[in-house]
Amino acid sequence: MKNNLKATIRNNKTTGELNNLRSKGFIPAILYGGKSPNLKLSIQENSLKDLNSDTFLSTIIDLDVDGKKEKVIPREISYHVISDKPSHIDFMRILKGSKIILEIPVTFKNNNDSPGLKKGGVLNIVRRKIELECVAENIPENIEIDLTALDIGASVKISSVKLPENTKPTITDRDFVVATIAPPTIVKEPEKPAEEAAEGVEGETAATAEGTGAEGAEAAKDGEATKKEEKGKEQPADKKTAAKPGAEKKQDKK
């Protein structure tokens, strides 16, 4: 991927001068590398809006510096803490035949042809970028991975990825994983532990027993009260009955 940018040489040095430059819609930059001297540049902020942020640091740019064109590649971008706008860019000259280490974005294709994804599996991306050593004239835009025929549990390792010509990963001591097809995630409600279930049953039994005991106590109290009332009613009747024989004796004496 190639883009064209225009830049002008700047003489600003102090922080105030740089801030003034930014307030006018320009981004300070520097160009270095090769045998040519470093150049302090300024680039219009509007000219960077069409560049893809994911691939910007791996994009070859034809930089026009006051009419002189050079092939460069962005190496670092600084952003403002609050506005998140680019505040400074470092560009490096690309020399013919030289090699450069870059992080290349990973893309995926044929998602609909993956049996694992059709079954509800999930594409788990382990590495969204892979660091490659590339020839300066042949920097790939991205690394494309084909998901056709990948089922659940399958993993894509770097050894199975077709890399662009004249490129190689910087990690060479292991066959690292780039992505996997993970099984679908199903959330199940946790079962109640046996101890808690037993405690629940015991609690219900105890509550029932307490309720029965309370009812029994109340019934006993009611029974005792009834007995007392009955005794209270019986006592006057007994007294009246006992008085009758005495009355009979008095009548006999007469």
What is the tens place of the pLDDT at every residue in 26-70?
Answer: 999 999 998 889 999 999 988 887 655 677 888 889 999 998 999
Pick the more confident residue, 203 or 185: 185
Tokens at 15, concatenated: 């922080």
Residue 182 CA to residue 121 CA, distance in Å, equals 6
Question: According to the model, what pLDDT value does residue 148 have?
Answer: 94
Global pTM value:
0.62
Range with lowest mean pLDDT among 6-10, 40-44, 123-127, 206-210: 206-210
Q: What's the number of CA atoms in the CB half-sphere (13 Å) around residue 76? A: 6
Sketch out the chain's domains with CATH numbers.
Answer: 2-94 (2.40.240.10), 100-182 (2.170.120.20)
Q: What DSSP string runs through 146-175?
A: E-TT--TT-EEEGGGS-PPTTEEES--SS-
Percent of the chain surpassing pLDDT 90: 45
Nearest to 115 by CA among 86, 142, 83, 153: 153
Pick the more confident residue, 187 or 185: 185
Q: Residue holding tokens 């084909």?
A: 146
Given a contact cutoff of 8 angstroms between Cβ atoms, the answer to whether 77 and 86 are in contact is: yes
3-state secondary structure 94-128: CCCCCEEEEEEEEEEECHHHCHHHHCCCEEEECCC
Question: According to the model, what pLDDT value does residue 7 have?
Answer: 94
Alpha helix (H) residue ranges in 52-193: 115-118
Give per-residue pLDDT as tens, 217-246: 454 455 555 444 544 444 444 444 344 444
Residue 210 CA to residue 106 CA, distance in Å, equals 69
Residue 80 burial (CB < 10 Å; 0-12/13-18/19+)? exposed
Question: According to the model, what pLDDT value does residue 195 have?
Answer: 60
Q: How many other CB atoms sit within 10 Å of the CB of residue 176?
A: 13
